[in-house]
Amino acid sequence: MADVNIDPPSHGCLEGWAKQGVLLLNSVLTVQEGKANSHKNMGWEDFTDAIIGTINEEKENVVFLLWGRPAQEKGNGVDESKHTVIRTSHPSPLGATKTASPFLGSRCFSRCNEALVAAGKEPIDWMIS
């Protein structure tokens, strides 16, 4: 978050982002407690594919921030002539510096805002209060 000059929050409430139109979407929406990916292949993938497909078809100039391999795979069908796609590793401590496109140092928040402004849209205030 240094790329937009804000300090990391002391909590995890992202309601302020949602109020500005930010949609945070995992490829699988539930898990068994303590077991990552435990609900993979239980139908969530089709649901989240439909959400992304609808946004891709019906909206213009959406910025997709695809963090981690599952998200990047979800973005393969996004029309990059209509939308901006920013791909990085997952922001978790285990993946934030991995891959050829690490989350840390990617400037994904400022790049998102640059794309929004270029499309005539308001930038996101990434401050979490």
Dump pLDDT digits (tens) for 36-53.
Answer: 889 999 999 999 999 999
How much is the pTM? 0.88
Rounded to whole angstroms, how far apart are CA atoms 69 and 28? 13
What ranges in 59-101 are assigned the alpha helix state H?
Answer: 69-74
What is the pLDDT confidence band of residue 62, given thresholds at 50, 70 and 90? Answer: very high
Place of tokens 């929406």: 29
Q: Is the pLDDT of residue 4 over 80?
A: no
Task: Report, as an integer, the average pLDDT of 50-57.
Answer: 97
Other Cβ atoms closer than 10 A to 107? 14
Residue 76 lies in a domain: yes
Residue 8 in domain: no
Query: What domain count does the chain have?
Result: 1
Domain of residue 48: give its range: 15-118
Give the per-residue pLDDT at 1: 63
Judge whether 129 lies within some domain. no
Domain of residue 63, CATH code:
3.40.470.10
Instruction: Give pLDDT, residue 31.
Output: 95
Query: Is residue 48 included in any domain, yes or no?
Result: yes
Residue 110 lies in a domain: yes
Note whether residue 5 is domain-resident: no
Nearest to 122 by CA among 65, 10, 31, 114: 114
pLDDT of the residue at 129: 79
